[in-house]
Structures are given as structure tokens and as C-alpha cells.
Amino acid sequence: MLKACIFDLDGVLVDTAKYHFVAWQRLANQLGIAFTETDNEQLKGLSRDASISYILKKGNIVLSEYDKQHYMAMKNEWYLALVNTMDESEALPNAKELLINLKDNNIAIALGSASKNARLILEQTALLPFFDSIVDGTRTTKSKPDPEVFLTAANDLSVHPKEAIVFEDAISGIQAANVGGFLSLGIGEPTVLTEAVWVYPNLTSLNFEQLINLYNSKF
């Protein structure tokens, strides 16, 4: 039976991609590298280290590890300044309502995100109280599509992967969920999230009853 739901953060519960874009573009500009919204899409689901590696490769630039850490810290400062302006209104439509609905039906809830700022973002958007477990970039060493983040969350919740649905907006996250043995629910475009078990454009039409029906249809 369905016992848990594990959510990615950016693009699923909140939209901080716009803030990441501003901060990464500012960093890329300092390095003389063009950085577009298309590039920003490629960073979905990636860790901070993997993201800067993508940008450096695009610009054919090699930095020492010390300089990489310096630039990542600088980007994070710019990003956090933007995140600190967030409030409850920036939770995506039906995100809070769905979390309340799941809680009311005794479904355990976890976060599975590469973000190292996940807890702050959940606090800013008033979503933090709904989570039984938060697995973010401070607790994992492997980036998606490695399933570490979701397996850690399942372990926290004491559930088997087959007892959980993972909500993701990035193909790397869908792949991580599938490899880990979870049922994957994509949030976004079916043409992009081709490996997801189900795909919805957003959370607005989802509730506990529908998730139960989706889950039961697979068993």
C-alpha cells in the first residue's frame, strides 16, 4: 500500500529556477560565458558542483578546486539574497493543499532534493512543518540520477521504495526514482519526462484519492 510521498523541491513545490538562473547567469557573465534559460534547464536536478562544471565546460574554462569553491560560494550568496525575499505565496499552486491532504490521510512526506538551501526555502514558503524527513544536498554525496537521495528518504521514513511515489520535474530525478525502485510521477512535459510512470503538468489536479488510484493501478 502507499505509505509515503517523496518530493523534489524546485519545479515541484516551489519555483526557484528563476533565482538560480539570475545567480548562475551573473556568475557566468563574470567568467565571460554566455548563459541562457536553455542552459539553466540543463542544470535541473544537478548539484551545485555539477552545475558549475557544466558552465565551465560550456566556456572551455578550467579552474582550480579552490577557485571553483569560491565561485560556488559567491553564486550561493546571490541566490540566498533572492531566496530570502520568498514567502508563502511562492509555493506552487496546490502544493500546500496536497501536503495537508496527504498528512490528513497519514501518508509520510519527505523531501529529496539536491539543494543545500532546501530547509530555508521550505521555511520561507511555510511548507516545512509538513515534512517528516528532509534529505538535501547536505546529506548526500551522489547526484541524481543516482537514487541515493530517495533511498535515504525512504530509510528515514521506514518504507520500502515500492511503498512510495516520487514527485520530480527533471529527467535525472525520474531516472533516480526508477533506479531506486520507486514509482515516479513527473511534473512537467510528457515529451521531456519520458521515463516517468505518470506525468502531470503540475500538482493542481492531484489529491490523496487520485494518488491511491494511480498507485493501486500498478499493483
Q: What is the pLDDT of residues 155-189, one digit of tens each?
A: 999 999 999 999 999 999 999 999 999 999 999 99
Q: Is 146 a catalytic residue?
A: no
Closest among 215, 211, 2 to 108, alpha carbons compared: 2
Task: Among 83, 114, 130, give the residue marking a domain's end.
Answer: 83
Instruction: Give residue 148's pLDDT.
Output: 97
Q: Which of 8, 39, 136, 156 is catalytic?
A: 8
Residue 152, pLDDT > 90, answer yes
Q: Does the pLDDT value for residue 123 go beyond 90?
A: yes
Catalytic residue among 10, 39, 156, 169: 10
d(CA 147, CA 158): 16
133: alpha, beta or left? (left if phi > 0; alpha if psi -120 to 50): beta
Are 47 and 99 part of one and the same domain? no
The domain of 35 spans 17-83
Same domain, residue pair 127 and 182: yes
Asked if residue 64 and residue 27 are part of one domain, the reply reads yes
Q: Which of 50, 83, 116 delimits the end of a domain?
A: 83
Reported pTM: 0.86
Write down the pLDDT at residue 71: 94
Instruction: Respond yes or no: is residue 10 known to be catalytic.
Output: yes
pLDDT higher than 80, residue 8: yes
Whether residue 207 sits in one domain with residue 104: yes
> Alpha-carbon dihedral of residues 8, 173, 115, 24, nearest 10 degrees?
-120
Spell out the residues 6+ positions from residue 4 whose beta carbon is closer than 8 angstroms to its own. Answer: 107, 108, 109, 110, 153, 154, 157, 159, 163, 164, 165
Task: For residue range 78-109, list pLDDT tens digits in order.
Answer: 999 999 999 999 999 999 999 999 999 999 99
Reply yes or no on whether the pLDDT at 45 is more than 80. Answer: no
Task: Note whether 139 and 181 are same-domain residues.
Answer: yes
| CATH classification at residue 182 | 3.40.50.1000
Joined together, the cell numbers standing for residue 176 give 533516480
SS3 4: strand
Share of the chain above pLDDT 70, in %: 100
Q: Please check whether residue 176 is in contact with residue 145, taking contact to mean a CB–CB distance below 8 angstroms.
A: yes
